C-alpha cells in the first residue's frame, strides 16, 4: 500500500516541503486505501448532485425560453463537465495523492498557489457552501416534520452527526455517502417517472416555437444560462482530494470520475425533460420550486411532500460528501508544514484526519450562525472556477515536463490540448461573467484570496526554520 508519507516523499521538492521531521513521520499513522470503485463513483456523483438540480431548471428557463435550447444548454454543460472529468482523471493518474488540486497547483506552479487554494477552500468555498446547504436542509426538515425546534439546533445536530460518522473512519463515511447517493437517485427517479408516465397534458417539446429574433440574442441568453448550469455540474473535482484513500487510484479514480459525471449528465437531462414536459417553458420559468411543482401537478400534495423529502436527503448527501473529501486538503497542507501540525493528526484506529474534519465543520457552523452564507456564495463562485480552470492548466505544465524527461503515464485526456483548452475557457468564462455582473462581490473574494499571501509567508517561514 502506498501511504500518504510515501506519496509525499515522492515529490521533487519533498525535502523542502516536509513540515514534519522524518522520525515523527515514520511513527505517524497514515491514511488508508479503503474506497472501492463503487463508493468512489458515489462520491463523484454526491459532490455534484445537491439541491440545485431540483431548483436551477427555472433559472435556465428564465434565460433561454425554447425547450430545445434549455435542454441544449444542459447538454452543453454536461459536455464541459465530462471534459473536466477527463482532465482530472489524468491528473489523478499522474499524482494519486491526498489533496488533489492542492497538490497539482503546488507542483505545477509554486507551493504558495496550492496554499491559496486550500486557504479559500477552508475559509469560504467549502464551508460557505456547507453552511448554505445545512440551513436549506434545516428548513426542509422543520417544514416536513412540523417540529418546534430552533433552526440552529438542526444545523449543529446535522453537521455534528455527519462529522462524527466521518471521524469513525473512511469506510463508515463512504458507506453513508453511498446510501445517501442511492436515495438521491431514487428521488430523481420518482420525479422522472412521475413526469414521464403521469403527466395529464404533456407539453409538446419537439414542436414548440423558437422564440428568438436574432443570433445575438440567442448567444447572449445561452451564455447567461450556462453559468448556473456549470455551477450545477460542479463538485466532481473534490473526489481527487481523497485519491490516496482509493484502492488502485490510477485505475479507479479516473473510472469513477467518468462514470459518475456521465451518470449525473443523464439524471440532469431527464429532470429538465420532465420539468419541460409537465410545466412547459413559461410555467417553468415562473416557479422557483420546479420539482415540487411537477410532483404537485401529477400526484398532488403527497407527491410534493415526497420530493421535498428527496431534496432534504439530497442536501444531507452533499454535506456528507463535503465532510468526507475537503478536509484531506487541510491535512495535506499540514503535512507539508503549511498549516497547524495538529490538523495532520491521524488516529491509529480510524486512519482519518479527525482534526481537519472537525475544524471544517466547526467553521461551517459559525458561518451558518452569522447568516452571511448567502453573501459568501456570491463571491466564491469566481474563485472556485478560477482554481478549477487553473488546475486543468497544470496538465500543460506536467506534459511539458514529461516531454523534457521522456516520462510516460497511463491515462491520457482524449483530444488534448483542444478539449483541455475548451474546459479551461469554459471555467474562466464563468469567472469573467461573474466579475462583470457582480464586481463588488468578486472584489471581496479576491481580497480574501490575497489575504492568504501573508499567511503563507508566515507558515513557509516557520517550515523553513524547522528544517
Mean pLDDT within 104-110: 97
Grid coordinates in use for 137?
436542509
- pLDDT value for 325: 96
Tens digit of pLDDT for each residue in 345-357?
998 899 999 999 9
Sequential DSSP letters for 4-49: HHHHHHTSTTHHHH--S-HHHHHTS------B-HHHHHHHHHHHH-
- pLDDT value for 1: 30
Residue-number span of the structural domain to which 160 is assigned = 4-466
Beta bridge partners of 98: 242
Residue with cell 438540480: 53
Tens digit of pLDDT for each residue in 123-175?
999 998 899 899 999 999 998 998 999 999 999 999 999 999 999 999 999 99
Tens digit of pLDDT for each residue in 262-303?
999 999 999 999 999 999 999 999 998 999 999 999 999 999
Confidence of residue 27 (pLDDT cuts 50, 70, 90): low
Mean pLDDT within 91-97: 94
Q: What is the domain count for the chain? A: 1
Confidence of residue 433 (pLDDT cuts 50, 70, 90): confident
Confidence of residue 77 (pLDDT cuts 50, 70, 90): very high
Tens digit of pLDDT for each residue in 118-127?
999 999 999 9
- pLDDT value for 9: 35
Q: What's 105's domain CATH number?
A: 1.20.1740.10
b or e along 248-285 (b: 16 or more beta carbons within 10 Å of the residue's beta carbon)?
ebbebbbbbbbbbbbbbbebbbbbbbbbbbbbbbebbb
pLDDT above 80: residue 209: no
Confidence of residue 208 (pLDDT cuts 50, 70, 90): low
CA-to-CA distance for 398 and 421, rounded, in angstroms?
Answer: 15
Cβ neighbours for 38, distance < 8 A, ≥ 6 positions apart: 178
Peptide bond into 417 cis (omega under 30): yes
Residue 54: phi and psi, rounded to 5, are -80, -10
pLDDT above 80: residue 378: no
> Is the Cα torsion angle 279, 311, 127, 342 positive or negative in sign?
negative
Q: Which of 51-55, 241-245, 305-309 has the lowest mean pLDDT?
A: 51-55
Q: What percent of the chain has pLDDT over 90?
A: 69
Tell me which of 222 and 238 has the higher pLDDT. Answer: 238
Supply the mean pLDDT for the chain: 88
Confidence of residue 365 (pLDDT cuts 50, 70, 90): very high
Mean pLDDT within 177-192: 94
- pLDDT value for 392: 97
- pLDDT value for 12: 38
Confidence of residue 407 (pLDDT cuts 50, 70, 90): low
Amino acid at each position: 500500500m502506498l501511504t500518504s508519507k510515501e506519496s509525499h516523499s515522492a515529490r521533487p521538492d519533498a525535502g523542502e516541503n516536509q513540515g514534519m521531521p522524518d522520525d515523527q513521520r515514520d511513527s505517524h499513522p497514515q491514511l488508508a486505501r479503503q474506497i472501492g470503485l463503487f463508493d468512489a463513483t458515489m462520491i463523484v456523483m454526491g459532490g455534484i448532485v445537491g439541491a440545485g438540480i431540483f431548483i436551477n431548471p427555472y433559472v435556465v428557463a428564465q434565460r433561454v425560453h425554447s425547450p430545445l435550447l434549455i435542454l441544449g444548454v444542459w447538454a452543453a454543460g454536461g459536455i464541459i463537465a465530462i471534459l473536466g472529468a477527463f482532465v482530472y482523471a489524468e491528473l489523478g493518474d499522474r499524482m494519486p495523492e491526498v489533496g488533489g488540486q492542492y497538490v497539482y497547483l503546488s507542483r505545477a506552479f509554486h507551493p504558495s498557489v496550492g496554499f491559496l487554494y486550500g486557504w479559500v477552500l477552508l475559509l469560504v468555498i467549502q464551508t460557505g457552501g456547507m453552511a448554505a446547504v445545512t440551513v436549506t436542509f434545516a428548513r426542509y426538515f422543520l417544514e416536513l416534520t412540523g417540529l418546534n425546534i430552533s433552526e440552529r439546533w438542526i444545523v449543529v445536530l446535522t453537521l455534528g452527526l455527519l462529522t462524527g460518522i466521518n471521524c469513525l473512519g473512511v469506510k463508515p463515511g463512504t458507506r453513508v455517502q453511498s446510501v445517501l447517493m442511492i436515495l438521491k437517485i431514487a428521488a430523481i427517479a420518482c420525479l422522472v417517472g412521475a413526469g414521464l408516465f403521469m403527466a395529464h397534458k404533456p407539453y409538446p417539446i419537439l414542436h414548440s416555437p423558437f422564440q428568438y429574433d436574432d443570433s445575438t440574442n440567442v448567444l447572449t441568453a445561452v451564455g447567461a444560462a450556462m453559468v448556473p448550469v456549470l455551477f450545477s455540474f460542479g463538485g466532481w473535482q473534490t473526489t481527487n482530494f481523497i485519491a490516496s484513500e482509493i484502492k488502485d487510484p490510477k485505475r479507479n479514480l479516473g473510472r469513477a470520475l467518468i462514470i459518475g459525471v456521465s451518470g449525473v449528465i443523464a439524471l440532469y437531462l431527464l429532470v429538465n425533460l420532465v420539468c419541460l414536459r409537465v410545466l412547459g417553458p413559461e410555467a417553468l420559468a415562473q416557479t422557483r420550486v420546479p420539482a415540487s411543482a411537477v410532483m404537485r401537478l401529477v400526484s398532488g400534495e403527497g407527491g410534493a411532500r415526497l420530493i421535498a423529502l428527496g431534496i432534504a436527503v439530497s442536501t444531507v448527501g452533499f454535506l456528507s460528501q463535503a465532510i468526507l473529501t475537503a478536509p484531506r486538503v487541510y491535512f495535506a497542507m499540514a503535512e507539508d508544514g503549511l498549516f497547524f501540525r495538529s490538523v495532520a493528526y491521524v488516529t491509529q484506529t480510524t486512519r482519518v484526519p479527525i482534526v481537519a474534519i472537525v475544524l471544517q465543520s466547526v467553521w461551517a457552523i459559525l458561518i451558518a450562525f452569522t447568516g452571511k452564507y448567502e453573501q459568501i456564495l456570491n463571491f466564491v463562485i469566481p474563485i472556485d472556477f478560477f482554481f478549477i480552470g487553473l488546475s486543468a492548466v497544470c496538465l500543460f505544465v506536467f506534459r511539458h515536463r514529461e516531454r523534457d524527461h521522456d516520462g510516460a503515464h497511463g491515462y491520457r485526456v482524449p483530444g488534448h490540448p483542444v478539449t483541455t483548452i475548451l474546459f479551461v475557457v469554459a471555467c474562466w468564462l464563468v469567472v469573467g461573467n461573474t466579475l462583470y455582473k457582480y464586481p463588488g462581490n468578486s472584489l471581496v473574494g479576491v481580497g480574501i484570496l490575497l489575504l492568504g499571501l501573508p499567511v503563507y509567508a508566515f507558515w513557509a517561514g516557520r517550515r523553513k526554520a524547522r528544517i
